[in-house]
Amino acid sequence: MKTLITCLFLITSLSLSAQKIEYSIPEGYESDISKKDYKFLVKESVKAISQYYKIVSVKEGAVELEEGQDFAILNLHNLILRCAEEERENWATMINEHFDGIYQSVESQKQLDVSKFETVSDYLSIRIYPESFVMQYGGTANMIVRTHLEGTFSLLMLDLPSAFTPVQKEVFKLWDKSEDEVFEIAQRNVNKQESVKVTEPFEVKESTIEVHFLENEDYGASLGLDLENNAPEFLGEWGAVIAIPNKGIINVCKVSKENPVDFVLFIQKFQAVVEQFYQQHSQPVSTDFFWYYQGEFTKIKVLNVNGDIQVISPQGLTQLMVEEE
């Protein structure tokens, strides 16, 4: 028995030594995790991933896998942010659940006949990511994307039981469907999700404004792409100004004839809040504000001049206000 245990230990040691494991924290995450904690996260991740895949190396948050497996690279960046929000004692469980979910998602997708549109149509969904995030992980060459919000990509996804998976172009081509049709179906699927809606008054520069919030941990941002159907009560005659800092929440200020410039106070009040919601979330979307009108999004120019936040109204919104006068 001792001989067997010794052999198993040697085999495991040789396997680990063959992997090139580096413990340098990925650039930009130095303030989120210590060197000691990052080393722990990497070691636990390697153990979890090794249950399913053969690892070549780990460098700056990227886990490279041997060729011919389900993935070329698995990234640790989201895990860093998620773990930073939890007690260290929970990390091992979180890490195992994270990679178990990824593997189970892949297996679920393998069991689906993705070549048949009717098989996967109910699983279609949309997720919004910053452009920089998507480009960092390979770009859009093999994905089906739209740009609803300037500076972001809206990815067509399969919402499988354990995880979200981007729809690959080679799969999309098998469906013989237009992108318009498929994105419309995906948005309808998103719209079926329940959400929490809250309206709160805020005092800003001796004025009171109403700010609306729509929340859903997984679909909040995607629900915000279709406010006409998901929150028509948040819209005024001239639409609304919104912020989507992360995947779980949108902040909305109605733009109405009665209160046409409340959106300026809203931006001045919430710019720092939106920045915080963006920075502190594992799946951020955007720090910008957008005018939403008749299904279209226009980025609003916001300037910080010596601490004074100045808001420049979009041309289309200005024109509507002028015509009303």
Model pLDDT for residues 139-166, shown as the tens digit of each residue: 888 899 999 999 999 999 988 766 678 8
The predicted-structure confidence for 49-64, as pLDDT tens digits, reads as follows 999 999 999 998 889 9
Model confidence at 325, in pLDDT bands (50, 70, 90)?
A: low
**Residues 163 and 278 placed together within one structural domain of the fold:** no
Task: Return the SS3 of 256.
Answer: coil
**Residues 42 and 101 placed together within one structural domain of the fold:** yes
**Residues 77 and 121 placed together within one structural domain of the fold:** no
At 27 the pLDDT is: 83
Whether residue 126 is predicted with pLDDT greater than 90 in this model: the reply is yes
CB 190 within 8 A of CB 126: yes
**Residues 245 and 266 placed together within one structural domain of the fold:** yes
**Residues 181 and 236 placed together within one structural domain of the fold:** no
* Lowest-confidence pick of 81-85, 173-177, 216-220: 81-85
At 11 the pLDDT is: 37
Domain boundary among 54, 78, 111: 111
At 282 the pLDDT is: 80
Domain boundary among 158, 174, 191: 191
The residue with greater pLDDT, 162 or 34, is 34
Count CB atoms within 10 A of the CB of residue 299. 14
Model confidence at 91, in pLDDT bands (50, 70, 90)?
A: very high
The residue with greater pLDDT, 2 or 177, is 177
At 312 the pLDDT is: 93
Domain boundary among 173, 191, 209: 191
The residue with greater pLDDT, 164 or 318, is 318
Looking at residue 202, the DSSP 8-state letter turns out to be E
**Residues 202 and 187 placed together within one structural domain of the fold:** no
How far apart are alpha carbons 233 and 240 in whole angstroms?
A: 10
Give the torsion sign (CA, 69, 72, 76, 82).
negative
The CA radius of gyration of the chain, in Å to the nearest whole number, is 23
CB 142 within 8 A of CB 201: no
**Residues 212 and 306 placed together within one structural domain of the fold:** yes
At 162 the pLDDT is: 60
Beta bridge mates, 126: 156
Domain count, the chain: 3
**Residues 207 and 183 placed together within one structural domain of the fold:** no
At 215 the pLDDT is: 95
How far apart are alpha carbons 281 and 85 in whole angstroms?
A: 9
Whether residue 8 is predicted with pLDDT greater than 90 in this model: the reply is no
Boundaries of domain holding 271: 196-324
**Residues 174 and 208 placed together within one structural domain of the fold:** no
